[in-house]
Structure 1
Amino acid sequence: MRYSGIGGQAVMEGVMMKNQEKYAVAVRKPDQEIVVETSTYEGLIKNKKIRNMPILRGVFSFIESLVLGMKTLTFSASFFEEEEEEKSGSRKAEKRAGAKKPAPTEEEQKKKEKRQENALMGGTVAISIVLAVAIFMVLPYYISVFFQRFITSQTLLALLEGVIRLTIFIGYVAAISLMPDIKRVYMYHGAEHKCINCIEQGMDLTVENVRKSSRLHKRCGTSFLLIVMLISIVFFLFIRVDNRILQLLLRLVSIPVIAGVSYEFIRLAGRSDHMLVNLFSKPGLLLQRITTREPDDSMIEVGIASVEAVFDWKAYVKEIREQA
């Protein structure tokens, strides 16, 4: 399999695909039409030397994926809130009609909405990070502290904390997979992976070929998060101080480094078919059996539309065949 450089994520009734700074969101609207929006996202750090530094690039990539992911999810969700927006719009019009001050111009309204969207997105991302740290890092630590009255070995306590963290994470992923809306998101997640696997295997991007492709991929965000959980166990084995508050703070401070190291492995996994790399990728691929589902043909069509908006797969596949 050859590295294509494209990646993506599932959104509400759609797929987002990203190729370098360009990305596209394809959504199946309630009337069954596929709408595709393309745009660019240059990221948080414009300096390429800094943003491409090992470890640091993983931290930047993680934060940027959260921001872009939230933005594309908001876009996809907008197609399923039209009735509410229409009602809201009519109420605003009535208020403006009865108000003495003139209504804002269309340009002013767009700027205001953009500022509100950016503020909301920034706040949502920040809250998401805080909650994730609290649930998957802080909570397992304090649960393991409870067992200190029974276990004196710091190594065993660190391993127990890691097991608790993995249990909470996998339990969370499995629990939300039972929700009907999440099941459909997981199906689109499968469509995203199958489209990428199809072209990276050198096959034409057709519904039939995508259907035959695997729904599992080594560069998946699910694998990244699991690697974070596993690498944190190794890191936390070496954090040994008597003060609990300091011990927790050192764990929190090390999270960006853990994320950076995990990103480097996922990056390597996407470019290598070495036996050891494939072996260490197995746990993430197994977890993807929960976070991805087999999509139907209509979902595959959405995935294909998203790929074609940002990636010249025909030239890519031709090059693979010429080098074969």
Structure 2
Amino acid sequence: MKFSGIGGQAVMEGVMMRNGNDYAIAVRLNDGSIHVDKKKTKGQEGIWYKIPIIRGICSFVSSLVIGMSTLMDSASYFEEEEPTVLTEEEKKKKEKQDKAEMTGTLLFSIVLALVIFLLIPYYFSRFVGRFVDSTTLMALIEGIFRILIFVVYVKAISCMEDIKRVFMYHGAEHKCINCIEHGLPLTVENVRKSSRQHKRCGTSFLLFVLIISVVVFMFIRFDSPVLQLVCRLLLIPLIAGVSYEFIRLAGRSENPLVQILSKPGLWLQNLTTSEPDDAMIEVGMASVEAVFDWKKFQEENKECFDEV
């Protein structure tokens, strides 16, 4: 069936939904009310967003920036019990400080990810290389070790109380989108019985980046560790672009082969999503309705919907 094109992510005590250039953050506040903040991002109609693979790189960078921004925005709702009245000068200073913090956090996260998922597996494979003569086998061992680190990392953070709630909101996000894409009215009851797995999820995207990197890195062979690492680093955007194209295809296709290839990502989502409660579902619904006319979408595509 046709897909809606809407996507999102979980944030602190809430959900961010994005549709085109519009995105909304819905957060459950301490008083029980739902706060919805709708924003616009830069246009995605440029030529770079029309070129396969390149558009995946651009979308990945854009999603990364917006994701970090929305996480900080959602966290800011819980910083103070009483709102503080700021002067214009203080507001500008705070915005500048927040932007600097977001940039610093983003850069630190990228460096940390490169160390964990690039450097450590690479040097582990070089250690194994003392006992293995095949460079192909070394590359395979490195890739499997990288995927294992990712799975263990996800499993480990899922045990943290705050992350557990984020994963519950992640489940609410998926269930809201699945409810709409299966032609059901967006109600708490219908969302509750919808699946918390979705083929266009960022979890699946990251897993495909890791899997495709296993294949690509098998063909990168330099004697110099520095050249080896630099080439791998430069190829990450390309791998991300290819992974994006597959996730995009998976969201549209019912091809049996595509369904099979999507299974690992859907399985991993059992770790990154949890069943939400009704209050969380309401937050997800509020986020959807702020940026997406789901009734119009269902009317235009009613002949495509599968029976649930």
CA distance in 2, matches of 1:156, 1:177: 32
Tell me the CA shift for residue 52 of structure 1: 2.5
Amino acid in the other structure paired with 1:70? M
Number of positions where the alignment pairs a residue of Structure 1 with one of Structure 2: 305
CA distance in 1, matches of 2:59, 2:94: 26
1:118 paired residue number: 99
Tell me the CA shift for residue 264 of structure 1: 0.8
Amino acid in the other structure paired with 1:306? S
Tell me the CA shift for residue 312 of structure 1: 0.5
What is the CA deviation profile of residues 53-97 of structure 1, one whole-angstrom value per residue up to 9, with x for unaligned ones? 2111111111211111111111111122114x87xx6xxx9xxxx
Q: Which of the residues 52, 55, 66 maps onto 1:54?
A: 52
2:156 paired residue number: 175
Specify which structure has the higher proportion of helix: 1
Tell me the CA shift for residue 321 of structure 1: 2.2
What is the CA deviation profile of residues 271-312 of structure 1, one whole-angstrom value per residue up to 9, with x for unaligned ones? 111111111100000000010001111100000000000000
2:20 paired residue number: 20
SS in 2 for 1:10: strand
1:297 paired residue number: 278
Is 1:38 aligned to 2:19, yes or no?
no
Whether contact under 8 Å (1:30, 1:79) holds in the other structure is no
| Structure number with larger C-alpha Rg | 1
Q: Which of the residues 178, 181, 185 maps onto 1:204?
A: 185
TM, length-normalised to structure 2: 0.95
* Divergent runs of 4+, >6 A: none
1:97 paired residue number: none
TM, length-normalised to structure 1: 0.90
Of stretches 118-127 and 19-28 in structure 1, the one that deviates more from structure 2 is: 118-127
Amino acid in the other structure paired with 2:242? V
What is the CA deviation profile of residues 120-147 of structure 1, one whole-angstrom value per residue up to 9, with x for unaligned ones? 2122212211111111111100111111
Amino acid in the other structure paired with 1:260? G
CA distance in 1, matches of 2:191, 2:2: 16
Tell me the CA shift for residue 106 of structure 1: 2.0
Q: Which of the residues 58, 64, 67 maps onto 1:66?
A: 64
SS in 2 for 1:35: strand
Structure 1: state its 5+ residue gaps. Answer: 94-104
Indicate the RMSD between aligned Cα atoms, in angstroms. 1.6
CA distance in 1, matches of 2:236, 2:274: 30
CA distance in 2, matches of 1:157, 1:25: 44
SS in 2 for 1:38: strand
Q: Which of the residues 209, 228, 233 maps onto 1:252?
A: 233
Whether contact under 8 Å (1:2, 1:201) holds in the other structure is no
Structure 2: state its 5+ residue gaps. Answer: none
